């Protein structure tokens, strides 16, 4: 089952995609969040091109695990996207995903200035991979 991972921010939406078996997540693209609120065609194209069967959306939780104002905003956007795309929406904890992405990119030699445009899609891949790993049965690990 192929899934699309989304890291929804105020300015950008990082997008990642799983392989058809639903085991490996890969960064895909960064979309402009403000444009996406008016026109979901770029996201619909990705869904159609990759034959996506569901959305995994990073949920910004506080460090104690509670949901705040940003979580409510992300849920509202994700629920709307899921409805318009006719896809189920699953949520995954995104705490520290951007920091993890920045560290991974930095250790790979990508300078902070170069990370700016790509960080969101790498964070989306980290969120999606964590979700995929959590769905696997212990004997599959």
What does the pLDDT read at residue 65? 75
In the chain, where are the structural domains located? 3-140
Condensed to tens digits (0 to 9), the pLDDT of residues 98-134 reads: 555 555 555 555 555 554 667 789 889 999 999 999 8
Q: What is d(CA 29, CA 136) in angstroms, rounded to the nearest whole number? A: 26
What does the pLDDT read at residue 117? 65
Condensed to tens digits (0 to 9), the pLDDT of residues 45-61 reads: 999 999 999 999 999 88
What does the pLDDT read at residue 68? 80
What does the pLDDT read at residue 88? 98
Predicted TM-score (pTM) above 0.85: no
Q: State in words which class domain 3-140 has.
A: alpha beta
Condensed to tens digits (0 to 9), the pLDDT of residues 74-94 reads: 999 999 999 999 999 999 988
């Amino acid at each position: 089952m192929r899934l699309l991972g989304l890291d929804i921010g105020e300015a950008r939406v990082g997008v990642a995609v799983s392989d058809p078996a639903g085991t490996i997540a890969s960064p895909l693209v960064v979309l402009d969040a403000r444009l996406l609120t008016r026109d979901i065609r770029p996201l619909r194209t990705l869904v159609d091109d990759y034959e996506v069967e569901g959305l995994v959306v990073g949920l910004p939780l506080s460090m104690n695990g509670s949901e705040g104002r940003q979580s409510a905003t992300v849920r509202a956007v994700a629920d709307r996207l899921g409805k318009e795309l006719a896809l189920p929406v699953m949520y995954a904890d995104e705490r520290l995903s951007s920091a993890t992405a920045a560290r991974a990119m930095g250790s790979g030699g990508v300078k902070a200035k170069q990370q700016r445009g790509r960080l969101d899609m790498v964070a989306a891949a980290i969120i999606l991979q964590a979700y995929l790993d959590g769905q696997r049965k212990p004997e599959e690990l």
